[in-house]
Structure 1
Amino acid sequence: MNAAHADFDHSADFYTDAYIRDILRECRVFGMVGASTNWNRPSYFAMKYMIQKGYRVIPINPRAAGEELIGETVVASLSDLPVPVDLVQVFRRPDQVGPVVDEALSLAVPPKVIWMQLGVINHEAATKAEAAGLRVVMNRCPKIEYARLSGELGWNGFNTRVVTAKKRAI
């Protein structure tokens, strides 16, 4: 493991809270590859939540380019972003992450972070991004991590002893 990034271990799919927290504090502008205009898709929920928390999330989806989504104009690719982004959030299949990383690295101002959504793991793309100096998160959701680290998951009954799996005596 690279000493500069000693607070995560991709092989174990482990990231320290400090690593995730630092990313969420430092990165304020996201480019969301695979953003959906469908209100009931996970990317839509994640985008809306992060915007409500003060982040700017620019949706990237070639099929919806030019449409407006939660106050932002959808762009076709990372190369079409109107401003540099701090973080590229990937809502694509694992086999499609490599080209996303390649495009991110080709930008005039590359992002600081490649963040692969829940279920998205691509070690080769992660290694390539890290070799270029980017931080990487795989198989995590910024929305969930933000809520977890800010204590908001407790509002939903998690870790509060209000919700339990124990059967209730009648």
Structure 2
Amino acid sequence: MSYSDTFLKDILTRTRVIAVVGISTNPVRPSHYVSRFLHQRGYRIIPVNPAHVGQTLFGEEFRAGLSEIDVPVDMVDIFRRHDAVPSVVGAAMSHLPHLRTIWMQLGVQHAEAAAKAEAKGLDVVQDRCTKIEYERLLGAGVPLAEAIGG
């Protein structure tokens, strides 16, 4: 997938709340350390993984699914296999009315789900890492507030 730097930077600078689907409590898993990086830069991370309900991560309680989130979410960041993407995207579009972006992590792509999300007016990024793009476009040590001039 090819995305302009302007498109990716716009997503990263307008986003404040990210629901991370498939996040792990294991700090060596990419879903964990990518989310930790984003949290340290100022994003609110809402962890979504039914295996960890009852636990907290980055000050937020785990949700079993996107339907359990009761705050506005800007982005859904997907750390799941290809075959899980359609149900995640469907739940996101059904339950998150303020959603602006579906982001599929490195190795995750689903053309049909992406097309459905785009048809609903959502921005979609596939096969890209939020941490890598943030570091590349905004700077590794730069907090979000500083990156957007706030």
TM-score greater than 0.5 by the shorter chain: yes
**What is the aligned partner in structure 1 of residue 39 from structure 2?**
51
**Partner residue of 1:73?**
61
Deviation string 1:21-80 (CA, Å, 9 cap, x unpaired) is: 000011110000001011110011011100110000100001101201122111100001
**Cα offset, 1:103, TM superposition:** 0.4
- Aligned partners of 1:101 and 1:152: how far apart in 2? 29
Task: Choose 140-149 or 105-114, whichever is displaced more.
Answer: 105-114
Give the corresponding residue for 1:148: 136
Q: Does the CA contact (< 8 Å) of 1:91 and 1:117 recur in 2? A: yes
Indicate which of 83, 89, 107 corresponds to 1:95.
83
Q: 1:84, CA displacement in angstroms? A: 1.7
Amino acid at match of 1:134: L
Which of residues 1, 14, 32 in structure 1 aligns to 2:20?
A: 32
- The structural deviation recorded for 1:17 is 0.3
1:85-124 equivalence runs, <5 A: 85-107=73-95, 109-124=97-112
> Greater CA radius of gyration, 1 or 2?
1
Give 2:121's aligned residue. Answer: 133
Write the letter of the residue equivalent to 1:80.
E
Cα separation, 2, equivalents of 1:28 and 1:111: 11
Alignment check: 8 A CA contact 1:104 1:110 kept: no
Percentage of pairs with the same residue: 50
Gaps of 5+ in 2: 142-150
Mapped partners of 2:48, 2:96: distance in 1: 18
TM norm structure 2: 0.90
- What is the TM-score with the length of structure 1 in the denominator? 0.80
1:64-121 residue CA offsets vs partner (Å, 9 max, x unmatched): 0120112211110000113120000000001110001110111151410000000001
Query: Structure 1 segments of 4 or more deviating over 6 A?
Result: none
- Please give the secondary structure, in 1, of the residue aligned with 2:136: helix
**Where does structure 1 lack aligned partners over 5 or more consecutive residues?**
1-12, 154-170
Counterpart-to-counterpart distance in 2, 1:152 and 1:38: 22
Helix, strand or coil at the partner of 1:114: strand
Structure 2 vs 1, CA of residues 101 and 20 (structure 1 numbering), >3 Å: closer, same or farther? same
Q: Which has the higher relative contact order, 1 or 2, with Cα contacts under 8 A spaced 6 or more apart?
A: 2
